[in-house]
Structure 1
Amino acid sequence: MKMKKTRIWSSLLICSMIVLLLAGTGYAEELPETVSAPVDTGQEAKGDAEAVTEPAAEIEEERETLELKFGDADEASWAVQAIGLMKSQAILSGYEDGNFRPNKPVSRVEAVVAAVRLMGLEDEAKAKSGDIKLAFTDAAAIDKKFKWAKGYIATALEHGLFDTSDTKLDPQKPASRVWVSALLVKALGLEEEALALMTSVPEFKDVSAIPAGSIGYVNVAVEEGIITGYPDETFKPNRNVTRAELASLLVRTNDNLLEQAGAITVSGEVTAISFETEQEAADAPALGSITVKSFNGDSLAFKISAELPITYEDEFIPASELVVGDLVSLTAEADIVLNASLINEEEANGANAGLIEWKLELDLDKDNGLKMEYENKKGETKAKIEVKTNGKKEKLTGEEAAQELEGILEAAKLTPELSAKEMTDQLLAALDLQDTSYKSLEVEMKFSNGAKLEFESKQEKGSKEDDEHEDDEYKDRAPGGKKR
């Protein structure tokens, strides 16, 4: 297929605009925020439903809050929410003095125990005898100092959380970023995907420092949004993970586990909530009901525990404090809300509020293409644009990228009800690429009503007429969409 360069560049207005922005801003300083903190700091509603109708205004004064903070929370204020969530789920705990020690490096045995708990295997681990034999060469050291953790270690072995070549655990050794990345990818059951990406070399400047046998795990961990690189485009594979950073990594891994289990994420306004439902079992918490009108306009009902921690910035409130009119983002499996957050009304993105996540990859030919990623979760927006021109890649992230993508998405007017062809045509029109030949177009989307769509379009012969859009290419069209 031959393609005239003049036609490519006249069509790629968005690429020209991005290049101009890059020239003025310098993309290296705007790369996505890492889960690890900067080196110098170690960071990277009770009452009747009608009583309050404005979401989360001064919640610490108006609503009962849950105390999920540790005494040293200010040492890692960026991770307060993640630490609180992991504490509420009994995945991570603090020390006897009431502190969490967020900037302390996490040990390998601590990371393994946390991963086992996150996978819902704690009962299995606790059922194992402390006399169980481990084949590690440092089994004596584990027996001496970490006998309490042997059940967790054995469970991790049985569920494939270690490499077949691992001969020792080194339980007290600080867990590095590359080691934790592999551990969490295995916890997600994505080892096969990691093995398939072992020869796909990531673009980190220090990629040579990543062990060859860990490349695939790093690739998957990055693709799944568990971990990212640093602003200087390095990965720092051997840097120790702090306890605060582990909390953030675990939250992201948990999001993936819930999605694997069929959970959906819904964002919108609470239109009804009640906690008068009787307990379904004597030993189970009473479940109330909540109805949310998504930003896509669908009304969805779920069951919810009155004691469920609801996050709002660095505070937590029990679900019993939610009221009609609150803007929320919630994750539910089998109609039961598992976690939820309040969304600040000012941070809810009006025109694109119905779109939670959007990814696009457009290949014009082997040397020219476009990648875009956009997230609008819990009132927080993240965006990234990558343009490849003549084989050279340029990136734009941060607020500038968000503004560009929000404009594109507003123009595209994407909804869960559209067909694959309609979505493709509207996206190409919004990008001013409707008359441009391309090799392939891949799109993934998540909407505020829980719909998750994924499709691919190809132009085998390079002509627009040869482009095939098949509705059956959709995957996981969920509740607000017409197809599944």
Structure 2
Amino acid sequence: MASTPKSFRDIQNQWARLFVESLANEGVITGFPNRTFRPDTSVTRAEFAVILTKTFTKLKKKRDYIRFIDVAAHHWAAKAIQTAYAIGFLNGFLNDRFFPDSRISRLEVLLTLVKGLDLALKVKPEKLATLQEIYHDTNLIPDSAITQVAIATSAGLVASYPNTKLLKPNIPATRADVAVSVYQALFFMGEVQKIPSDYLVVPPQPQTELEHASL
């Protein structure tokens, strides 16, 4: 049986506590039988698929499901993986593999949300200051992902603990990381209330023509 939010005994002083509790109240994420949430544990692709399908229940199918040879019909997350693929979030790899037990990176979480929610149609990254002004480790972001990271940042999906100047794109995303980014996606969509946090990345606002003139 999953723990209730208030009984998570390992998040009381955790930076993402309010986000975790909010999503747990909605049944999007759950804890463990020993009344813990394990916020610093990394997340697998299968686990992320489950979170996505529990969160974005209103999204319509975009494509037919392709059977992955490493996701058996009796796999505990098979249905969620099929749905997450069909609604346009998670992709597979060569040779029809999904790698359900692989750890998903912080970058992959952001790219998945940007893609699945079609944020490129809703956010204009050119209005965002260069990523070098926001993150000190932009050299770790693949060139092919720069625009999507800019979109995710502009949409408010990025949180980074304890230093918001470090994106840390290639390390495995923790359960806390995923909870915050998913919650922020819901906030961007207008479905939840704002939760203040010192660890949400707030991009600098572009200067107006009047501000430029006064320099």
The two structures have a TM-score, normalised by structure 2, of 0.73
- Aligned residue type for 2:85: L
Mapped to 2, the partners of 1:164 and 1:242 lie a distance apart of 21
Checking the alignment, whether the CA contact within 8 Å between 1:91 and 1:114 is kept in structure 2 is: yes
Structure of greater relative contact order (alpha carbons < 8 Å, 6+ residues apart): 2
The one-letter amino acid of 2:103's match is: P
Closer, same or farther in 2 for the Cα pair 1:201/1:340, shift >3 Å?
closer
Report what 1:185 is aligned to.
114
Task: Give 1:311's aligned residue.
Answer: none
Q: Distance in 2 between matches of 1:120 and 1:237?
A: 27
**1:218 alignment partner in structure 2:** 149
Structure 2 Cα separation of the partners of residues 76 and 174 of structure 1: 25
What residue number does 1:170 align with? 99
TM superposition shift of 1:160: 1.3
1:161 aligns with 2:98: no
Percent of pairs with identical residues: 22
Higher strand share: 1
How far apart, CA to CA, are the structure 2 residues paired with 1:174 and 1:212?
Answer: 22
Matches within 5 A, 1:160-309: 160-163=88-91, 167-192=96-121, 202-203=131-132, 204-228=135-159, 231=163, 233-258=165-190
Q: CA deviation at 1:109?
A: 1.3
Distance, in Å, in 2 between the alignment partners of 1:361 and 1:194 is 14
1:86 has 2:23 as partner: yes
1:94–1:110: structure 2 CA closer, same or farther, 3 Å change rule?
same
Confirm or deny: 8 A CA contact 2:157 2:184 kept in the other structure.
yes
CA distance in 1, matches of 2:125, 2:92: 17
Seen in structure 2, the aligned counterparts of structure 1 residues 74 and 363 have a Cα distance that, compared at 3 Å, is closer
SS state of the match for residue 240, structure 1? coil
In the TM superposition, 1:78-477 aligns within 5 A as: 78-121=15-58, 134-136=66-68, 139-140=69-70, 142-143=71-72, 147-163=75-91, 167-192=96-121, 202-203=131-132, 204-228=135-159, 231=163, 233-258=165-190, 360-362=205-207, 436=213
Gaps of 5+ in 1: 1-66, 125-131, 264-330, 332-338, 344-356, 365-427, 439-484
How far residue 161 of structure 1 moved from its aligned partner, in angstroms, is 0.9
Instruction: Return the alpha-carbon distance in structure 1 between the equivalents of residues 54 and 72 of structure 2.
Output: 21
More helix by share: 2
Question: Where does structure 2 lack aligned partners over 5 or more consecutive residues?
Answer: 197-201
For the Cα contact (< 8 Å) 1:112–1:156, is it kept in 2?
Answer: yes
Give the letter for the 1:185 counterpart.
V
SS for the counterpart of 2:189 is helix
Alignment correspondent of 1:70 = 7
Decide whether the 8 Å contact of 2:49 with 2:84 is kept in 1: yes
Residues 194 and 217 in structure 1, CA contact (< 8 A), matched pair in contact too: no
Change (3 A) 1:194 1:111: farther
Residue aligned with 2:5, SS: coil
Q: Is the 8 A contact 1:75 1:103 kept in 2?
A: no
| Mapped partners of 2:41, 2:20: distance in 1 | 13
Note the C-alpha offset of 1:92.
0.3
* Distance in 1 (alpha carbons) for counterparts of 2:23 and 2:159: 20
Answer whether contact 2:114 2:120 (CA < 8 A) is retained: yes
Residue identity in the other structure for 1:104: T
Work out the CA distance in 2 between the residues paired with 1:113 and 1:107. Answer: 10
- CA distance 1:340–1:194, shift in 2 (3 Å): closer
In our comparison, the structure showing a higher alpha carbon Rg is: 1
The one-character-per-residue Cα deviations of 1:449-476 (angstroms, maximum 9, x if unpaired) are xxxxxxxxxxxxxxxxxxxxxxxxxxxx
Distance verdict in 2 for CA 1:340–1:179, change over 3 Å: closer
Cα-to-partner distance string for 1:330-389 (whole Å, 9 max, x where unaligned): x6xxxxxxx588x9xxxxxxxxxxxxx9x852255xxxxxxxxxxxxxxxxxxxxxxxxx
> Contact between 2:125 and 2:150, CA under 8 Å: does it hold in 1?
no
2:141, 2:194 → 1: CA distance?
36
Deviation at 1:193, TM superposition (A): 6.2
| Distance change in 2, residues 1:154/1:201 (3 Å) | farther
Aligned length: 197
Q: TM-score, normalised by structure 1?
A: 0.35
- The 8 Å contact of residues 125 and 154 in structure 2, kept in 1 or not, is answered as no
Distance in 1 between residues matched to 2:11 and 2:51, nearest whole Å? 23
Cα deviation for residue 173 of structure 1 reads 1.4
